Amino acid sequence: MITKKQELFCREYIINFNATQAAISAGYSEKTATKIGSENLTKPDIQNRISELLNERVERNEINADYVLKRCIEIDELDILDIMDENFNFKPLNQWTKVWRTSITGIDIQELSGNEDTVSLIKKIKWPDKIKNLELLGRHINVQAFKEKRDVEITAEVIPPQMDLTRLSDEQLEQLKFITESAMPQSDS
């Protein structure tokens, strides 16, 4: 059984996973917060309560591995045609799919003054990082496409090919002799 103060510590801890800050927010003194926060995390009753609270949060928010995988796939399948018309103008936001509205990481709109009657707008959106997203997808489903590169050393003896020179004409033998002598390093003697 945990105390009310420990319960508050648990609830604060799952917000940012900082034991010292959770202890201070739960009402422990700043002088002892680091020590008490650390001690609290070693107590089985508190560990169990933190696990319960985290599980409740996952269930409440319905965020689990399937959700993460689904979102990664949605981001991977984003298509610019969903938000732009054939003249490269952005469609109105109410025509954007929910995936687009929730996946872009930034919008920048700049107004440029022109003549008295003209104003130009520069609209920029920041896409989600699709390479990072693919990496996350690969890790999730164990594709291992981004597995660390490993150096492999292979040693082998190179054996020159064997040729039957008896079938070569005198002219071909002279050409071969010239080629091999040209390829040989010259000595400075």
Structure tokens that stand for 126 in this block: 């920041």
Tens of pLDDT, residue by residue over 59-92, are 887 777 788 888 888 888 888 888 888 888 889 9
For residue 91, CA distances in Å to 86, 135, 161 come to 10, 30, 66
Q: What is the pLDDT of residue 155?
A: 67
Centre a 10 Å sphere on the Cβ of residue 139 and count the other Cβ atoms it contains.
14
Average pLDDT over residues 173-178: 76
Domains of the chain: 4-61 (1.10.10.1400), 79-127 (no CATH)
> pLDDT-derived band of residue 170, with 50, 70 and 90 as boundaries?
confident
Cβ proximity of 103 and 83 under 8 Å = no
Q: What pTM was computed for the model? A: 0.44
Q: Look at residue 84 and give its three-state secondary structure.
A: strand
Alpha carbon distance 169, 134 (integer Å): 61
User: Containing H/E element for 5?
Assistant: helix 4-16
Cβ proximity of 49 and 2 under 8 Å = yes
Centre a 10 Å sphere on the Cβ of residue 34 and count the other Cβ atoms it contains.
15
Average pLDDT over residues 28-42: 95
Tens of pLDDT, residue by residue over 111-146, are 887 777 777 778 888 888 878 877 777 776 665 555
